[in-house]
Structure 1
Amino acid sequence: MSRRNWKRLQPTSLRHALELCKDHARERRNLSVERIADAMGITDHWSLYKWIQSGRFPANLIRPYENVCGIDFATRWLVASAGRLMVGIPTGRSASAADIQTLQAVLNDAVGALIGFYASHANADETLGAIQAALETLAAHRGNVVKHAQPELDFAGEAE
């Protein structure tokens, strides 16, 4: 089984976003739903199962859930469902060749999804997800170019 590329996935519903967060926590952090609930301070893990299954997740627990899972699919879906783009805060750092290659792959996927959609080979949700990912990636690079003249201090310790 091949590994998922988590950066390129786009959720199609809140329930799908919550399931993707759970799957990411299991695959990348080796966390079960019981351990996720424990890390969030929820005493009954069955409540977490119920919220994921129904899509009725308490709003005040979305950020703790995403922090424990290590990815922000629920926030991404909420932003996209409101017709907005979610762009990471640019740091002004120089892009590497891998960053540009990732951008090219995301844009290529979006164009391929559009071609497939107009040829009736792809559904609307997949096409919208690919377009959303491309727009967000381009917007992040735009912000990075704007801030390149005044880069922020590297408190996270990223090596260049």
Structure 2
Amino acid sequence: MIRRDWKRLRAASLVEALRLCKAYAQERSNLSVERIADRMGVTHDSLYKWLATGRLPANLIPPYEHACGCHYVSEWLAASAGRMVVAMPTGKKADAADMVQLNSGFAQALQLLTNFYADPARTDASVTAAALREHMERVAYHERNVAAYAQPQLEFDA
């Protein structure tokens, strides 16, 4: 069985997003469709039907993703509406290595973007988009840290 890079996977359709969630739950948590359906509070027959047709009711998307432990459906819905999803980062103090990684990631994304606009036919658009998305996620992480500085969280003694 081929190990997937779950962080970089993006669904091309709603049915594929539903199936990616199911595959993620099976691989990462060893959950069957029956166990996912039980966690959602629906019958496994209904879930099989929704997975086959892609007609999962909208109010069941959050429970389905929660049961599976991933968000491919929500990400696909946002992307199909022309929106980008950036995961809410959790903060930690950045060190010099983090700053170097941020700078080198930006340089790489900028180089790929420059190559793309120079000759789109000779570049891989999905690699360029992935590099840009990864850089924006890193920037969002640091933006969240800076914003959290103004509203410090409670620190409890251990």
Shared fold, TM over 0.5:
yes
Q: Which residue of 1 aligns with 2:86?
A: 87
The one-letter amino acid of 1:19's match is R
- Report how far residue 2 of structure 1 moved: 4.3
1:59-102 Cα deviation digits (max 9, x unpaired): 01000000010001101111111112222334443247589759
CA distance in 2, matches of 1:100, 1:25: 35
Q: Is the 8 A contact 2:61 2:73 kept in 1?
A: yes
- Report how far residue 141 of structure 1 moved: 2.7
Structure 1 pair 3/102, CA: closer, same or farther in 2 (3 Å)?
Answer: farther
Task: Choose 84-93 or 96-105, whichever is displaced more.
Answer: 96-105
Q: How does 1:117-132 map to 2 (within 5 A)?
A: 118-119=120-121, 122=124, 126=126, 130=130
Larger Rg computed on CA atoms: 2
Q: What SS class does the counterpart of residue 149 from structure 2 fall into?
A: coil
Task: Choose 30-39 or 98-107, whichever is displaced more.
Answer: 98-107
Q: Which residue of 1 aligns with 2:8?
A: 8
- Report how far residue 144 of structure 1 moved: 2.4
List alignment gaps of at least 5 residues for structure 2.
none
CA distance in 2, matches of 1:77, 1:154: 37
TM-score, length of structure 2 as denominator length: 0.71
The one-letter amino acid of 1:68's match is A
1:21-43 Cα deviation digits (max 9, x unpaired): 00100000000111111111112
CA distance in 1, matches of 2:29, 2:36: 10
Q: Is the 8 A contact 2:21 2:65 kept in 1?
A: yes
Q: Which residue of 2 aligns with 1:76?
A: 75
Structure 1 pair 104/2, CA: closer, same or farther in 2 (3 Å)?
Answer: farther
TM-score, length of structure 1 as denominator length: 0.70
Q: Which residue of 1 aligns with 2:30?
A: 30
1:92-142 Cα deviation digits (max 9, x unpaired): 432475897599679958939x75x923675x7x46863673365145235
RMSD: 3.7
Q: What SS class does the counterpart of residue 88 from structure 2 fall into?
A: coil
Percent identity between matched residues is 46
Task: Choose 137-146 or 34-43, whichever is displaced more.
Answer: 137-146
Q: Is the 8 A contact 2:105 2:131 kept in 1?
A: no
List alignment gaps of at least 5 residues for structure 1.
156-160
